[in-house]
A and B are shown apart, each in its own frame.
Chain A
Amino acid sequence: MKIRTFPYFLREAFRSLFRNSLLSLASVAIITIALLLFGLFFLFIANLQHLGELAWEQVEIRVFLEQGYKNPQTVGQQLAALPGVKNVTFIPKEEGAIFLEKILGEKNLFSAEENPLPDCYRLSLTGTAEPAAIARQAASLPGVEEVVYGQAFTRFLRLVLRLGLVVGVVLLCLTVLGVLYLVINTIQLTVFARRQEIEIMKLVGATNAFVRWPFFLEGIILGLGGAMLASVLLTKGYSFLLQQLSSYSRFIPLLSGNGINRTLILALTAMGLCFGGLGSLFSVRRYL
């Protein structure tokens, strides 16, 4: 294959797209719809995962120190250094007493000298942290008397999140396969409409690689077109949804910002390009 032939492939790909404009438009529309379905599902799963992580961040660990332990700051530093710990808040026993008084509705429960409550640290965690492991590490630190966290709740939450993730990934994979099937079938239609062209190319002595190239580029352009349209529709649609829900954002904290848009556009573009190109190669192979 000569390099100077490449502009010919590109020209042929574009020429064929324009001359078969109706078929090209229909293909881009179908690819767009397929990628839109994937994108919607992707956003749904990403937000579900995000909500799960937010819930996880609500998990707190309380680390109670030994009565009269002299070096609470050292423990605080060691706790802050543990992986997965986001924030460390020191709650001196005096504050603990005030908190207890509030709960019990009584005043002056203990005098400053008689306060039997221990000093305490409250740890908040990152979305991916494992509370049981952090609790174990915290309990082994010198000066720590007891570590408490909502074991039953975290176990339940962990189960729900893992289940959600597995189901989400499986469904997302199925959607990807569905999109692949749709894209390949669509491109097969465009190749089928031009099987005579392939036959003539072969008869006049074109090599298989030469036959494949224009179709491959055409598939990539169709896939890219579908991906761009789907990206615009999804990002605009999602921004609109976020805008509409902005007043409820405290209760429905959806993923926002450029990060999710970038990931979505990247995923759609990669799928459009790969599936378009692969679809073409797969479809042309039948006629070679």
Chain B
Amino acid sequence: MILTKDLTKIYSNGVVALDHISLTINKGDFAFLVGPSGAGKSTFLNLIIRRELPTSGLLAVNQRNLATLKQSEIPFHRRSIGVVFQDFKLLPRKTVYENVSFALEVIETPPKEIKDRVYSVLELVGLLNKAHVFPSELSGGEQQRVSLARAIVNRPLLLLADEPTGNLDPDTSWEIMDLLKEINKRGTTVVMATHNREIVDHLRKRVIALEHGKLVRDAPKGGYTLEN
């Protein structure tokens, strides 16, 4: 699913965001990406969705080498990936339904199919009754569920979540985690960058720890910090 070898990203200001990272994330995995701010977690996710280009090394997603991906191929690469952000990134002037259907409309899904898929995914995230309200009328947790619905509505192979619980209270965070586990159970690979120690320690999933751009730990069922 994701294969990196000596993956390095150095920004034009000289900051080394990722330093020779080599790892493999397999199809169906659930991996936490942990580390302090500035460790390179967001850069790693940005490289996967091809918002940025690696400076050197190999990065392949779904057997596509992202360094050699043509500009015209980027949209098609992104269609196999769902992304969830800490700040939800919902469109304030679109309803819940429109925010989700938007992801299908831009990839030119037939209208009939759009309706069925949007309602089915809204049911999964428990927001069927709020399909026609605007994001400003929703709580933070509900907004994040809309964001999740938008990320998975086109049935991506890979779901990237960048601090999805960062703006949420503990109870709501667990609701989002339950949804992510459910999505993962249905076969989608999930990579989640987080600072939430409680969630990582409790779920005991794979933990990839970064520090100053270096891979410092890759534990199959790890905790937030190294345990002896």
A residues with a Cβ closer than 8 A to B are 1-2, 4-5, 8, 16, 19-20, 196-197, 199-208, 210-211
Q: Which residues of A contact B110 (CB under 8 A)?
A: 4
A207 touching B105, Cβ below 8 Å? no
A204 touching B93, Cβ below 8 Å? no
The CA-CA distance from A205 to B76 in the complex, in Å, is 6
6 shortest interchain CB distances as A-B pairs: A205-B79, A206-B106, A205-B78, A204-B103, A19-B93, A205-B75
The CA-CA distance from A85 to B36 in the complex, in Å, is 90
Of the candidates A4, A19, A204, the one whose C-beta lies within 8 Å of that of B78 is: A204
Of the candidates A20, A196, A205, A211, the one whose C-beta lies within 8 Å of that of B107 is: A205
Nearest CB in chain B to that of A204: its residue: B103
| B102 contacts the other chain (CB 8 A) | yes
The CA-CA distance from A239 to B85 in the complex, in Å, is 58
Contacts A200-B102, A202-B78, A207-B75 supplied; 20 other A-B pairs, CB < 8 Å:
A1-B108, A2-B108, A4-B110, A199-B89, A200-B91, A201-B102, A203-B83, A204-B78, A204-B107, A205-B75, A205-B76, A205-B77, A205-B103, A205-B106, A206-B75, A206-B106, A206-B107, A210-B106, A210-B108, A211-B106
Q: Which residues of B contact A19 (CB under 8 A)?
A: 93
B102 touching A204, Cβ below 8 Å? yes
Q: How large is the interface on B (under 10, 10 to 19, 20 to 34, 35 or more residues)?
A: 20 to 34
| B154 contacts the other chain (CB 8 A) | yes
Contact residues of A: prevailing secondary structure: helix
The CA-CA distance from A202 to B103 in the complex, in Å, is 10
Among B76, B77, B79, B102, chain A packs the most CB atoms within 10 A around the CB of B102
The CA-CA distance from A201 to B104 in the complex, in Å, is 10
Tell me how far the C-beta of A68 lies from the nearest C-beta in chain B, rounded to whole angstroms: 87
| B150 contacts the other chain (CB 8 A) | yes
The CA-CA distance from A210 to B72 in the complex, in Å, is 12
B62-99 CB contact bits vs A (8 Å, 1 = yes)? 00000000001001111100010000010101000000
Nearest CB in chain B to that of A9: its residue: B105
The CA-CA distance from A200 to B49 in the complex, in Å, is 12
Tell me how far the C-beta of A19 lies from the nearest C-beta in chain B, rounded to whole angstroms: 4
Q: Which residues of A contact B108 (CB under 8 A)?
A: 1-2, 4-5, 210
Asked if A201 meets B93 with Cβ closer than 8 Å, knowing A206-B75, A207-B75, the reply is no
Nearest CB in chain A to that of B91: its residue: A197
The CA-CA distance from A20 to B92 in the complex, in Å, is 11
B89 touching A200, Cβ below 8 Å? yes
Tell me how far the C-beta of A201 lies from the nearest C-beta in chain B, rounded to whole angstroms: 5
Q: Which residues of A contact B75 (CB under 8 A)?
A: 202, 205-208
